Structure 1
Amino acid sequence: MNAHSPSSDGALRPAIPRDARHARWAVSLIFFLNGASFCAILPRYPELVDSIGLSNTAFGLAVGLGPLGGLLAGLFAARLMSRFGSARTSVAFQLLASTSHLAIYVSGSWLWLTLALLLAQAADAITDISMNAHGMRVERRYRRSIMNSYHGWWSLGAVLGGLLGAAAAQAGLPLWAQGVIGLVVFGVLVLGAGRRLLPGHDASERSTAAAAAPASSPSADPGAEVPAAATPAGRRIAGMSLRSLGLVAALGMVLVFAGSTEDAGNTWGALFMRSTFEATPFLAGMAFVALQGAQTIGRFTGDAIVDRLGDRLTARIGALIALAGMSLALLLPTPATALIGFAAAGWGIATLFPAAFRTADDLPGVPHGVGITVVGWLARLGFFITPPIVGALADALTLRYALWMVPVYALGILAFSGVLSSRRRRAGV
């Protein structure tokens, strides 16, 4: 086997070890299952709302309280990964997540739905952080950007889950049956993926990458001015200086607005299509599919774009696309423009989660696993805060006017995008 293989631009890049290639596909499968398992529920939200008899405000409150489970559980992600490793943690908590999804399908009251969402979000938070942490291990072995492709697999799973959920709703498949099928299929697949993840300590590749990198080459653009060894001693929180904590908080804000944009399609897309256009169950589910489908394309093409433009410029272009697309959909509401608007929003935020996680994990002076945990925890604030706000606005006005929050989220991304790396990546560098 050659020690190097040619890249698309003719440059030589190091050959990828077989275990790293297998681990990449295993991590991709976990991302895929994580997206499919929960997102199959979303097109069936209108049935849950009708069967329980919820108002938009009550439903938005239940969905908004769910991320509290993630906010609380996410605090323990770094500790769990330190003890059990990111591989075992991601597999175990994805199994727990799929189990809790069955409880959502069979919810019979507002309290039941809320508690099921709390458990599901708690399990998802730890799965999310641990599978991203393991994905970063594999990316370091590849020595080029592959994080967007992981999130592309998540989006592909979300699209498939949304399509299956919409088709099941149209066919009248009982909610409980969809939940049982999902638990069995997704559970078997995630156990199989766990057998191909990387062994050893989670910091192994980070140490190797640090040894291989030139001493004058910073690992993360936002913190490049202050290498870890040169950071002055002072007040530290969770092992981070106040400056590093500020950078991590800003990265978290990028994901607050990105997550809020994604939630607009996840939670409200089907309800918006039904209430505004009296869409059929399948067409109503297409709002979510449009957002996730465009996001999938954006993520699978995102690594090449980020390698050329950097995370910062890519994020700013995406925010402008989301702003323009959703503004068009809300100013000129038709089923077609609505689907275009949700698609623009999905495309616009496609690279933000990988970009923020990568930047947080590479920040100088931030302990291993802490940056990615804190950013992932802060990201869930968007899923916690915005559903009740949108629900209350929808009851006070209409869902069409409530969704004007999405262009506001795009402005928030523009405001905080400066914290992302502006460095262009090159294969093998």
Structure 2
Amino acid sequence: MSLAPAPTRVPPDESVVRRARLAVGALFLTNGALLANLLPRYPEVKAELGLANSTYGLALAAFPTGAILAGLLAATLIRRLGSASVAALGTAATAAGLLAAAWAPGAALFALALLVAGAFDALTDVAQNAHGLRVQRHLGRSVINSFHALWPVGAVLGGVMAAAAIALDVPLRIHLLISGLLFTVVALVARRFALPGRDTDDVAHAADGSGATDGEGSSGAADSVSAADGAGGSTAPATSPAPRPGRGRTAAMLGALVLIAIAGTLVEDAGNSWATLYLSRDLGALATVAASGFIALVGAQFVGRMLADGFVDRFGQRAVARSGGALIALGMGVALALPTVPGTIAGFALAGFGSASLVPAAMQQADALPGLRPGTGLTVVSWLMRLGFLASPPLVGVVADAAGLRAGLLLVPLAGLAVVLLAGVLTGRRPTG
């Protein structure tokens, strides 16, 4: 009995891919905006529920806890439902959880609502990255960094919406109902313009050589293994599958990617949690000036993400990440060695610029690791990165209590050095022509 040949998978039209790129950008923006609508109103919730500081802190911890508990489910859901559907439905469920938090009559239900919102936020995060990488593969060039640049734009938009609601005395429940409905509609419309087909179709499409790949395409992880083994240019035909690394090597590469991602989030947390405190308390900056450390880091990171895709296409992920790690180490290292207010602000700016591509690069490379089911590498990196993000503030705090905040912030240049050493697992510049 003869077997019929498998049907050829036809890649989507360029116009479909362009619309899908806009759709993914909309998903990233909504993901940044949803929680940002509630954050400025947390003090209002605390006062209304009469929460003690300790109870309030425990309740807020429910959001990241939910993300950690649910994060590992993302790969399975993406394979069953598709990344676009998981991202859109996750956005709607996150909005519902945040709205439920506004209606909670007590601390327990408030925490439960945040737990649910955090769980769906984590699923949305992985799914929108997975779909963004699908779009990138079809475009044939790097765009994942520009998606990540839209997240803080959404966060600023959400914060402005919250500030306007407070100024206009809009009740919290009405405010979150409006914002939740708005961004749910945006996400559902974005789903309509997402790429057709299943995520697994893209993997098979890339594997048979018939589909476009990005500048660090889906074969990039296998290329990294070959480079790490010291292999030269391949003499095999273009259609020959690249040799897959063993499980131990894949696990080692995944571990290195997790560390790169954690290094990126550690730099972000240094700006979020410690920059203002260090500048004001340790260096004596005025409160208005002290806020510049955080602003410099976030602003430079945004600029870096807008520029990073072009750098990646030209130089490759490996060179961009190594250069970024060097900027982090040099900028913050010099700032901490010669502590001045202007120098420290500049150091935070260099660290933000240097860290811009680290998390997107780690996610992209993990998603392309050979030998893993679709979405697995991306899910693992995202999940462990969240654990690292939770661990970094207390780690800096413990060192700061023992030796001062200046010593605690030495973790930032050390993270930069770690990236320089680990960047070999990322793909280099791919030959053109």
> What TM-score bracket applies, with the shorter chain setting the length?
0.7 to 0.9
Query: Any unmatched runs of 5+ in structure 1?
Result: 1-13, 233-239
Q: Does 1:332 align with 2:329?
A: no
Instruction: Quickly say closer, same or farther: Cα 1:28–1:364, change in 2 above 3 A.
Output: same
Match of 2:270 in 1: 264
Residues 298 and 351, structure 1, Cα contact 8 Å, conserved in 2: yes
C-alpha offsets along residues 291-329 of structure 1, whole Å, 9 cap, x if unaligned?
332222111111110112211111111122223333455
Matched AA of 2:187: V
Match of 2:287 in 1: 279
Q: 399, 405, 416: which one pairs with 1:410?
A: 416
Deviation (angstroms), 1:341: 3.5
Instruction: Quickly say closer, same or farther: Cα 1:91–1:260, change in 2 above 3 A.
Output: same
Q: Using the alignment, how far apart are the partners of 1:124 and 1:207 within structure 2?
A: 28
Matched AA of 1:203: T
Alignment of 1:122-137 (within 5 A): 122-137=119-134
Residues 66 and 119, structure 1, Cα contact 8 Å, conserved in 2: yes
Matched AA of 1:258: G
Instruction: Quickly say closer, same or farther: Cα 1:186–1:404, change in 2 above 3 A.
Output: farther
Q: 296, 305, 329: which one pairs with 1:290?
A: 296
Alignment of 1:22-421 (within 5 A): 22-39=19-36, 54=53, 66-101=63-98, 118-161=115-158, 176=172, 179-212=176-209, 218-220=219-221, 221-224=223-226, 230-231=243-244, 241-269=247-275, 277=285, 279=287, 287-327=293-333, 329-330=335-336, 331-334=338-341, 337=343, 339-393=345-399, 402-421=408-427
Matched AA of 1:198: L
Q: Using the alignment, how far apart are the partners of 2:278 and 2:45 within structure 1?
A: 15
Residues 79 and 374, structure 2, Cα contact 8 Å, conserved in 1: no
Q: Using the alignment, how far apart are the partners of 1:42 and 1:287 within structure 2?
A: 21
Instruction: Quickly say closer, same or farther: Cα 1:374–1:198, change in 2 above 3 A.
Output: same
Deviation (angstroms), 1:186: 2.3
Q: Using the alignment, how far apart are the partners of 2:354 and 2:272 within structure 1?
A: 15
Deviation (angstroms), 1:250: 1.3
Q: Using the alignment, how far apart are the partners of 2:383 and 2:334 within structure 1?
A: 32
Q: Using the alignment, how far apart are the partners of 1:273 and 1:105 within structure 2?
A: 35
Question: Which protein has the larger Cα radius of gyration, Structure 1 or Structure 2?
Answer: 2
TM-score normalised per structure 2: 0.76
Matched AA of 2:224: P
Deviation (angstroms), 1:47: 8.4
Deviation (angstroms), 1:163: 6.0
Q: Using the alignment, how far apart are the partners of 1:327 and 1:174 within structure 2?
A: 46
Residues 42 and 267, structure 1, Cα contact 8 Å, conserved in 2: no
Q: Using the alignment, how far apart are the partners of 1:105 and 1:284 within structure 2?
A: 32
Q: Using the alignment, how far apart are the partners of 1:93 and 1:162 within structure 2?
A: 21
Instruction: Note the aligned Cα RMSD (angstroms).
Output: 4.1
Structure 1 residues 92-101 or 220-229, which shifts more? 220-229
Matched AA of 2:312: V
Residues 249 and 378, structure 1, Cα contact 8 Å, conserved in 2: no
For residue 299 of structure 1, give the secondary structure of its aligned residue in structure 2: helix
Q: Using the alignment, how far apart are the partners of 2:399 and 2:46 within structure 1?
A: 17
Residues 63 and 114, structure 1, Cα contact 8 Å, conserved in 2: yes
Matched AA of 1:261: V
Residues 23 and 138, structure 1, Cα contact 8 Å, conserved in 2: yes
Aligned residues: 399
Fraction of identical pairs, as percent: 41
Q: Using the alignment, how far apart are the partners of 1:244 and 1:377 within structure 2?
A: 17
Q: Using the alignment, how far apart are the partners of 2:176 and 2:280 within structure 1?
A: 23
Q: Using the alignment, how far apart are the partners of 1:180 and 1:396 within structure 2?
A: 46
Deviation (angstroms), 1:20: 0.9
C-alpha offsets along residues 35-89 of structure 1, whole Å, 9 cap, x if unaligned?
233345667778889996648xx95x87777534323212111111122111110
Q: Using the alignment, how far apart are the partners of 2:415 and 2:110 within structure 1?
A: 27
Q: Using the alignment, how far apart are the partners of 2:197 and 2:91 within structure 1?
A: 21
Residues 66 and 384, structure 1, Cα contact 8 Å, conserved in 2: no
Structure 1 residues 247-256 or 172-181, which shifts more? 172-181
Q: Using the alignment, how far apart are the partners of 1:339 and 1:176 within structure 2?
A: 36
Residues 225 and 425, structure 2, Cα contact 8 Å, conserved in 1: no
Match of 1:4 in 2: none
Matched AA of 1:34: N
Q: Using the alignment, how far apart are the partners of 2:333 and 2:91 within structure 1?
A: 36
Query: Any unmatched runs of 5+ in structure 2?
Result: 1-10, 212-217, 232-239
Q: Using the alignment, how far apart are the partners of 2:346 and 2:94 within structure 1?
A: 31
Deviation (angstroms), 1:275: 5.9
Structure 1 residues 88-97 or 217-226, which shifts more? 217-226
Q: Using the alignment, how far apart are the partners of 1:176 and 1:362 within structure 2?
A: 42
Higher relative contact order (Cα pairs below 8 Å, separated by 6+ residues) = 1
Matched AA of 1:222: S
Instruction: Quickly say closer, same or farther: Cα 1:413–1:99, change in 2 above 3 A.
Output: farther
Deviation (angstroms), 1:268: 4.5
Q: Using the alignment, how far apart are the partners of 2:51 and 2:180 within structure 1?
A: 23
Residues 361 and 371, structure 1, Cα contact 8 Å, conserved in 2: yes
Q: Using the alignment, how far apart are the partners of 2:165 and 2:334 within structure 1?
A: 29
TM-score normalised per structure 1: 0.77
